[in-house]
Every structure is written in C-alpha cells, then in structure tokens.
Amino acid sequence: MHSELSGTTAIVTGASRGFGRAIATTLAGAGARVVGVARDRDRLEEVRAELGDAFLPVAADATDPTVAGLLLDRHRPRTLVLNAGAAPLSRPLHRHTWQTFSRAWDVDVQHVFHWTREALLLPLAPGSTVIAFSSGAALAGSPLSGGYAGAKGTIRFIAAYGAAESARAGLGIRLVSVLPRLTPATELGAAAVAAYAEREGVDVATYRERLGQALTPAQVGLAIASLAADPAQDRPAYLLTPDGLAPVPG
C-alpha cells in the first residue's frame, strides 16, 4: 500500500497518541521512516516498541521554533504532518479566561506557523507535502472550546497562504489542511463529546449516537497516508469523515 512512501522520511507531530499515533503507524506500515514528536517520552517509547526501528521518537515541544528548525534541517522529510494540538478546556465562553480561550492559538496555530515557515525557508525538496490539522470546527464553530474553532480556521489559512508562497517561488511543496469531523475516539475528542453531551443534558452514549458513525484513528491514518502519497490530491483543504477525504468547497 502506498509504495510511493516506501523509503521516504516523514515527521509527525503529536505522534504519542490519538490521530498522530495512527498516522505514524500507517506511514511506517507503508515503508516510511517516521520521526514522531510529542512531549510524553513514555508514550512515544510505547509507539517505538510497537513500530520498531521505523519510528524515531523525539520528546520535544512542537511549539518550539528551534525544534522545528533542527528536525527539518536534520531529516528533510518528504511528508510533514502537523497534527499536534492542545485539548481545549470545555467551557462556555464566559467561563474561559483569555489564557484558556487562546490555548489552541499558543499550541496548534503557533506550531503550524513555525513548521510551515521553516519548511518554506529550508526549503523542503520539490514533491514534499505538508499536511496541517485544522478541524471541522473551523466550519461549524465549537461554542464550548474557547478560541479553538477560530484557531483551526487560521491553520487552514496558514496552509493556503503557504501553498501560494510555494507556488510563487516554484518550490514544488504541496501544502494542504485537513478538517476532521469530531470523534470520541481520541482523548481530545472524547472530552469534547462528554462536554457537549452534558451541555445538552443527555448521556454520552446518546450524544455519540446523534453524531453518527465515528471517525476512527485508523481511518485518519489511512486518509493521511493516501493524501501524502498522491500528488494529484492538491486541493487546499479536505474534510475528513468516515467516508474519507472530500475537498472543502470554495
């Protein structure tokens, strides 16, 4: 599967659990060497134990611009997956402080900004792909997640701006954003689903039923590997649901 990725290098941020771990697993399964970045060394070591030498764990803060510069200089990945994200504190607007409201800007947006900038400045080799994790919340809003939806909307813009700069400079780097639908299948998603269930006065099982079929981390891994492998998938942004990737209209 995805033989185009065999023997190539990928960097995945947020690889210690959730979507990132599944993406690292799928890319390694396709024959890529995967550098996985997250802060929790123990959980990264678990991934290493599962995937073996195909996975290089790097315990680091992905929002640190030095980490971005060093790892891109050292590994020059063909595939860069900017997936790391902070779990928002689930509260209505007026129960946020500015610090809790802006958390996704400090983590998610800041890391996508630094890594995208370094990828363009290096630059990565022609044919490289940068995939940035936005969210379906960027379209629908997320009233219990403070600034999360706006931050994820900005990530979509950063990927599109980066794609325009790549095209203007003839770099041949593909930059796309992916907008997954909310799923209780990860720690971040489960916390959000529990908060929305409580808000609506229903139990979690009822709320999950209302959401319909849940997107699984394995489906995310497969979708990202297919996106990374296929240069023809060059739309600026893709929705990601259990049915797969679909270009965001407009």
Tokens of 77: 């990945």
Q: Does 118 bind ligand NAP (CB under 6 A)?
A: no
Q: Does 189 bind ligand NAP (CB under 6 A)?
A: yes
The identity of residue 213, as a single letter, is Q
- Find the shortest distance in angstroms from Cβ 240 to ligand NAP: 8
Q: Does 177 bind ligand NAP (CB under 6 A)?
A: no
Nearer to ligand NAP, 13 or 128 (CB): 13
Q: Does 62 bind ligand NAP (CB under 6 A)?
A: yes
Nearer to ligand NAP, 30 or 37 (CB): 37
The single residue among 8, 9, 10, 16 that binds ligand NAP, judged by CB under 6 A, is 16
The helix (H) or strand (E) run that includes residue 58 is strand 55-59
Nearer to ligand NAP, 85 or 171 (CB): 85
The identity of residue 101, as a single letter, is F
The identity of residue 41, as a single letter, is R
**DSSP letter assigned to residue 209:** H
Alpha-carbon span 111 to 80, nearest angstrom: 12
Q: Does 186 bind ligand NAP (CB under 6 A)?
A: yes
Alpha-carbon span 22 to 24, nearest angstrom: 5
Nearer to ligand NAP, 150 or 180 (CB): 180
Q: Alpha carbon 1 to chain centroid distance?
A: 21
Q: Does 112 bind ligand NAP (CB under 6 A)?
A: no
| Residue 94: other Cβ atoms inside 10 A | 5
CB 203 within 8 Å of CB 197 = yes
Give the side-chain half-sphere CA count within 13 A for 154.
17
Q: Which stretch binds ligand NAP (CB under 6 A): 2-10, 130-138, 205-213, 241-249?
A: 130-138
State the residue number with the nearest CB to ligand NAP.
18
Q: Does 139 bind ligand NAP (CB under 6 A)?
A: no
Q: Does 248 bind ligand NAP (CB under 6 A)?
A: no
Binding residues with ligand NAP: total (CB under 6 A): 32
The single residue among 73, 140, 164, 187 that binds ligand NAP, judged by CB under 6 A, is 187
The DSSP string of 60-129 is --TT-HHHHHHHHHHH--SEEEE---PPPP-B-GGG--HHHHTHHIIIIIHHHHHHHHHHHHTTPPTT-E
Q: Does 85 bind ligand NAP (CB under 6 A)?
A: yes
- Find the shortest distance in angstroms from Cβ 235 to ligand NAP: 18
Tokens of 184: 């209780």
Q: Which stretch binds ligand NAP (CB under 6 A): 27-35, 38-46, 198-206, 229-237?
A: 38-46
Alpha-carbon span 227 to 229, nearest angstrom: 5
Alpha-carbon span 31 to 67, nearest angstrom: 25
Q: Site residues (CB under 6 A) for ligand NAP?
A: 13-14, 16-20, 37-40, 43, 61-63, 83-87, 107-108, 133, 135-136, 180, 182-183, 186-189
